[in-house]
C-alpha cells in the first residue's frame, strides 16, 4: 500500500510542471478570444433577460389570479374560474367556512371574505360577456349566501352579511 502511494505521488509530481506549462500557454493564446466570448455571452444573456421580463409582464397583464387564504380549522374552498382575465381573492378566517365558486366570464374580479364559524357561500355563473366585479363579505356565524347567474344589475354586486344565522338568495337571469 505504501508503494502505491509513493508511485502516485511520483507520477503526480512528475506531471505537474507539464500541466502548469500547458495551462499557461493556453491562457496566453486565448486571452483575446475569451474576452470576446465573454462580451458576446453577456450581450446574449442581456437580451434573454429582457425578453423574459417582457414575457413575464405580458403574462401578468393577461392572466387569471386566484388567491386563497385560510386561517382556522376545517375551512373548505372549491374555486373554478374560466376567464380571459380574472382576479379572485378568497379569505376565510374562522372554522368550518365553506366557499363554492364557479365563474365563467370575460373579465372577472371577485373578492370573498368569510369571518366567523359555519359560513357558507355558493356563487355560480355560467357566462358573463361584461366585466363583473363582485364582493361578498360574511362577518358572523352560520351565515349563508347563494348567488346564481349574472346580468347587468349584478355586474357590480356587493353583499355585506353580518350577524348570526342569516340567509341571502340572489337569482340573476
Q: Are 146 and 138 in contact (CB under 8 A)?
A: no
Dist. CA 169–CA 110, nearest whole Å: 18
pTM of the model: 0.64
Q: What is the pLDDT of residue 94?
A: 96
Taking alpha carbons only, the member of 124, 127, 149, 123 closest to residue 137 is 123
| pLDDT exceeds 80 at position 27 | no
Contacts 24+ apart (CB under 8 A), 121-129: 121/145, 121/147, 122/146, 122/147, 122/148, 123/99, 123/147, 124/100, 124/148, 124/149, 125/149, 125/150, 125/172, 128/104, 128/155, 129/105
- Check residues 59 and 147 and name the one with the higher pLDDT: 147
> Residue 63 — very low, low, confident or very high, per pLDDT cuts 50/70/90?
confident
Average pLDDT value for residue range 157-172: 94
| pLDDT exceeds 60 at position 52 | yes
What is the percentage of the chain residues whose pLDDT exceeds 70?
65
Taking alpha carbons only, the member of 66, 110, 65, 119 closest to residue 92 is 119
Q: Are 89 and 109 in contact (CB under 8 A)?
A: no
100-110: pLDDT as tens digits:
999 998 999 99
Where are the chain's structural domains? 1-62, 64-171
| pLDDT exceeds 80 at position 36 | no
113 contact partners, CB below 8 Å, separation of at least 6: 91, 93, 136, 137, 138, 139
Report residue 112 as a C-alpha cell.
370573498
Amino acid at each position: 500500500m505504501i508503494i502505491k502511494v509513493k508511485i502516485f505521488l511520483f507520477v503526480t509530481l512528475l506531471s505537474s510542471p507539464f500541466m502548469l506549462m500547458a495551462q499557461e500557454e493556453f491562457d496566453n493564446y486565448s486571452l483575446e478570444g475569451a474576452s470576446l466570448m465573454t462580451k458576446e455571452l453577456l450581450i446574449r444573456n442581456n437580451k434573454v433577460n429582457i425578453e423574459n421580463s417582457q414575457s413575464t409582464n405580458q403574462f401578468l397583464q393577461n392572466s387569471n389570479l386566484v388567491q386563497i387564504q385560510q386561517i382556522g380549522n376545517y375551512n373548505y374552498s372549491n374555486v373554478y374560474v374560466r376567464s380571459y382575465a380574472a382576479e379572485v381573492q378568497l379569505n376565510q378566517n374562522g372554522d368550518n367556512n365553506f366557499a363554492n365558486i364557479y365563474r365563467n366570464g370575460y373579465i372577472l374580479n371577485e373578492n370573498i371574505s368569510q369571518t366567523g364559524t359555519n359560513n357558507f357561500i355558493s356563487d355560480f355563473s355560467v357566462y358573463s360577456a361584461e366585466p363583473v366585479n363582485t364582493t361578498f363579505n360574511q362577518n358572523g356565524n352560520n351565515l349563508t349566501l347563494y348567488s346564481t347567474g349574472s346580468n347587468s344589475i349584478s355586474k357590480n354586486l356587493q353583499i355585506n352579511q353580518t350577524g348570526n344565522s342569516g340567509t341571502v338568495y340572489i337569482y340573476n337571469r
